[in-house]
A and B are shown apart, each in its own frame.
Chain A
Amino acid sequence: MMRANLKPAIISAVVVAVLAGLLLGIRLDQQGTTLSLVGAGPDVYWKIGAAAAFLFFFNLFRDQLSALWKGLPGLPKAPQKLVEVSHKPALRRLFWCFMIAAAIIWPFLSNRGGTDLGTLVLIYVMLGLGLNIVVGLAGLLDLGYVGFYAVGAYGYALMAMYFDVGFWTGLLIAGLLAALFGFLLGFPVLRLRGDYLAIVTLGFGEIIRILLNNMTWLTNGPNGIGGIPKPTLFGLEFSRRASEGMQSFHEFVGISYSSEHRIIFLYLLALLLVLITLFVINRLLRMPIGRAWEALREDEIACRALGINPTAVKLSAFTIGATFAGFAGCFFAARQGFISPESFTFIESAIILAIVVLGGMGSQVGVILAAIIMTILPEMAREFDEYRMLLFGLMMVLMMIWRPQGLLPMSRPHLELRT
């Protein structure tokens, strides 16, 4: 047993040591024009050695380890009765009500930072839910989702700058604009097979970013756009002094001014947008079009045989997904007050995709959970900031190997044949 594993164990350890040693153990050092090499320091050597040793022992004892893994009791399976009860619609409704209530109370319990973080989570939840339609439900891998996010954000910012449009009108326009872009892009490319689509959308996202960077006359280029107006509540502003012809919230209600009002308002607004998103998606899922999305993901040829037009169905998923990105972008622009092309790089697309994948493609609770994890973890582990993207890439690979269905895979009521 052990002897058979010895050879792969030695090989993997040596390969890791050599590959990592060459690239990580030696640093290129630039002094003026001359290039020289310096050692990376003992701590890096120790890390490489530890990684090689770990792989060696892991491969050597892999049979024993897998036996041990199987022998572990695992998570206790929920009793059948509990599972059945948890599927009851009334109980589910209660669960959702509880969740929403908790989300509403959150800003009043936590401090300013917590509320701000909550708003950020909600933006990612919205983006995740939107991408979930495209990737999770319709099975179209969209790597340029951030492009639509950027279209929404810049759509609102430019509208506000040139035409003095308010937030609520801007929200609508941003959504429509993103939908239009989704439609125009989707129309030609959705006839393609899945992996081509991934690259074309990736190219689209890059095109948007490059255009925003270079069309200086319109978008102010890499300097970005500042002074984007904040959202208002039925015409009430959240500022110490209202601008001309407007009234501010604290004057209207008759309480003293506090800057926290605006933050709480932004949080509740984001929550409202997320709830609307959830509501719309859940309605759509029960409509023929939602069924068609999932059917298409499972088997395109069968769908065609049943008379579903794949291009139209894909286009609808793509456009609706883009619309939600547009809403999220508009909200993002209004919250930040400043946007630049820096915020819309490919990494952002990858993070949103990771949220969908981590949560379990197609599962909405999963996406929400994953958005919370992906946003809060980096905030908690600031000292690991340098390693954030590294671990993030590693997680995507490991997740695909061990749990491709995600943390909370989508479950549907179904019958299984028992033989």
Chain B
Amino acid sequence: MAMPESLYYFIQQLINGLTVGSTYALIAIGYTMVYGIIGMINFAHGEIYMIGSYIAFIVIAALAMFGIESVPLIIVAAFAISMMVTSAYGYSIERVAYRPLRGGNRLIPLISAIGMSIFLQNLVRIAQGSRDIAMPTMISGGVDIGPHEGFHATLSYMQMIIFVVTLITMFGLTLFISRSRMGRACRACAEDLKMTNLLGINTNGIIALTFVIGAALAAIAGVLLGMYYGVINPYIGFMAGLKAFTAAVLGGIGSIPGAVLGGLLLGVTEAITAGYFSSEYKDVVAFALLILILLFRPSGILGRPEVEKV
């Protein structure tokens, strides 16, 4: 049975979209968890992702200088160190820029977060230079879908790694949130912060924990996308953060499955726009999608409608 070329082309766009979409989902979880608990948009989250990418590149370069060739070891080390460092960044940012502002006007933490985002972006720009830094591909090759001769779709090994890592992370996070003691405390905080505090749970600690988890997930996305594209610069965080936030809103902000769904949906929409229309307009389509979703379903796909109380 010979399938038409256009179908393979579509499958290829779908694979590319799901790859990028799953990393959007990882970043979006950070937004959605923080928003779910303290109702604040952590604008600097995209920069955490960017820092994660940089740390991964530094680790990879360092291991290469020590002459370590084993690819799995390098990847594991990149993940581990990058997650640790960004977690510390996430915690410090919460401590310095957001905690003192909690409980006031909603705009004030948001403006502080924008300031933090500008600060981090420029910190990296000054330290590492503003030009692109490229890394040779470590994992090449892939599996062909369709006939070997002629047009076919390819699922590269790197894309497979992205899917597998994302799946494992999601699975682990779901287990943590639904089964563990701290996960239960997280859910309680999202339900009613004040009441949870009254019941003797260290809510400050839980809020810090959500920032740490969000930062670690952003670091995973940073390592994966850094290796996937092979190029980073200090400005990647801004767009990625914006896209991930769009994904979080798309799926219903505050809901973790929603963030995943939104991320995948956004990734596929972008890939299809780029594949059939023009890659320059994929960002425009992403934002237009955001505006449309907010217009017709402000609570997102899986979100609960919010009732504002006096």
Q: What residues of chain A have their CB less than 8 Å away from a CB belonging to chain B?
A: 15, 18-19, 22-24, 26-28, 30, 33-37, 40, 44, 135, 139, 141, 143, 188-189, 191-196, 198-200, 202-204, 206-207, 210-211, 213-214, 300-301, 346-347, 350, 353, 357, 386-387, 389-390, 392-397, 399-401, 404
A199 B290 Cβ-Cβ under 8 A: yes
Knowing A210-B280, A393-B115, A395-B115 are in contact, say whether A28-B85 is a contact too (CB < 8 A).
no
Interface size on B, residues (CB 8 A): 69
Q: What residues of chain B have their CB less than 8 Å away from a CB belonging to chain A?
A: 39-41, 51, 54-55, 57-58, 60-62, 64-65, 85, 88-89, 92, 96-97, 100-101, 104-112, 114-124, 126-129, 133-136, 238, 242, 245-246, 249, 278, 280-281, 283-284, 287-288, 290-291, 294-295, 298, 306, 308, 310
B242 A206 Cβ-Cβ under 8 A: yes
Knowing A188-B291, A203-B287, A353-B114 are in contact, say whether A15-B88 is a contact too (CB < 8 A).
yes
Cα(A76)–Cα(B108), bound, Å: 29
Count chain A CB atoms within 10 A of each CB in B51, B104, B283 and give the residue with the most.
Answer: B283
B280 A191 Cβ-Cβ under 8 A: no
CB nearest to A399 among chain B residues: B115
Cα(A339)–Cα(B133), bound, Å: 30
A35 B88 Cβ-Cβ under 8 A: no
Contacts of A202 in B (CB 8 A): 242
B298 A192 Cβ-Cβ under 8 A: yes
Given A200-B290, A211-B284, A396-B118, 12 additional A-B pairs, CB 8 A: A23-B54, A35-B60, A35-B135, A44-B127, A196-B249, A198-B41, A214-B281, A389-B118, A393-B115, A396-B112, A400-B111, A401-B101
A396 B114 Cβ-Cβ under 8 A: yes
Contacts of B119 in A (CB 8 A): 390, 393-394, 397
B134 A30 Cβ-Cβ under 8 A: yes
Knowing A15-B88, A199-B290 are in contact, say whether A210-B284 is a contact too (CB < 8 A).
yes
Count chain A CB atoms within 10 A of each CB in B64, B119, B246 and give the residue with the most.
Answer: B119
A203 B85 Cβ-Cβ under 8 A: no
B92 A22 Cβ-Cβ under 8 A: no
Contacts of A300 in B (CB 8 A): 308
CB nearest to B290 among chain A residues: A203
Knowing A393-B117, A396-B115 are in contact, say whether A188-B242 is a contact too (CB < 8 A).
no
Contacts of A401 in B (CB 8 A): 97, 100-101, 112
Partner of A301 from the list B88, B291, B294, B308 (CB cut-off 8 Å) is B308
CB nearest to B101 among chain A residues: A400
Contacts of A394 in B (CB 8 A): 115, 119
B56 to chain A, nearest CB (A): 11
A141 B110 Cβ-Cβ under 8 A: yes
CB nearest to A197 among chain B residues: B294
CB nearest to B232 among chain A residues: A28
Secondary structure class of chain A's binding surface, majority of residues: helix
A37 B62 Cβ-Cβ under 8 A: yes
CB nearest to A135 among chain B residues: B107
Cα(A199)–Cα(B246), bound, Å: 8
A350 B114 Cβ-Cβ under 8 A: yes
A390 B290 Cβ-Cβ under 8 A: no
B242 A396 Cβ-Cβ under 8 A: no
Cα(A252)–Cα(B88), bound, Å: 69
Cα(A371)–Cα(B93), bound, Å: 28
A214 B114 Cβ-Cβ under 8 A: no
CB nearest to A29 among chain B residues: B61
B136 A404 Cβ-Cβ under 8 A: no
A18 B41 Cβ-Cβ under 8 A: no
B246 A400 Cβ-Cβ under 8 A: no
Partner of B298 from the list A19, A191, A350 (CB cut-off 8 Å) is A191
B294 A200 Cβ-Cβ under 8 A: yes
B140 to chain A, nearest CB (A): 14
Cα(A400)–Cα(B106), bound, Å: 12
A39 to chain B, nearest CB (A): 12
B54 A24 Cβ-Cβ under 8 A: no
B54 A28 Cβ-Cβ under 8 A: yes
Cα(A201)–Cα(B133), bound, Å: 31
Count chain B CB atoms within 10 A of each CB in A19, A33, A301, A400 and give the residue with the most.
Answer: A400
Cα(A347)–Cα(B235), bound, Å: 12
B108 A404 Cβ-Cβ under 8 A: yes
Partner of A35 from the list B120, B133, B298 (CB cut-off 8 Å) is B133
Cα(A300)–Cα(B238), bound, Å: 31
24 contacts between A and B (CB under 8 A): A23-B51, A27-B127, A30-B133, A34-B136, A35-B61, A37-B62, A44-B127, A188-B295, A192-B298, A193-B308, A196-B249, A198-B110, A200-B291, A203-B242, A206-B242, A207-B284, A207-B287, A357-B111, A387-B126, A389-B122, A393-B119, A393-B120, A396-B114, A404-B105
A37 B92 Cβ-Cβ under 8 A: no
Count chain B CB atoms within 10 A of each CB in A27, A28, A346 and give the residue with the most.
Answer: A28
Contacts of A198 in B (CB 8 A): 41, 110
Contacts of B117 in A (CB 8 A): 393
Knowing A15-B88, A194-B106, A203-B291 are in contact, say whether A23-B55 is a contact too (CB < 8 A).
yes
Cα(A401)–Cα(B109), bound, Å: 9
A393 B116 Cβ-Cβ under 8 A: yes
Partner of B112 from the list A36, A301, A400 (CB cut-off 8 Å) is A400
A23 B123 Cβ-Cβ under 8 A: yes
Contacts of B288 in A (CB 8 A): 207
Partner of A214 from the list B108, B127, B280 (CB cut-off 8 Å) is B280
Contacts of B97 in A (CB 8 A): 397, 400-401
Cα(A386)–Cα(B136), bound, Å: 30
A206 B294 Cβ-Cβ under 8 A: no
Cα(A191)–Cα(B305), bound, Å: 14
A36 B65 Cβ-Cβ under 8 A: yes
Contacts of B105 in A (CB 8 A): 404
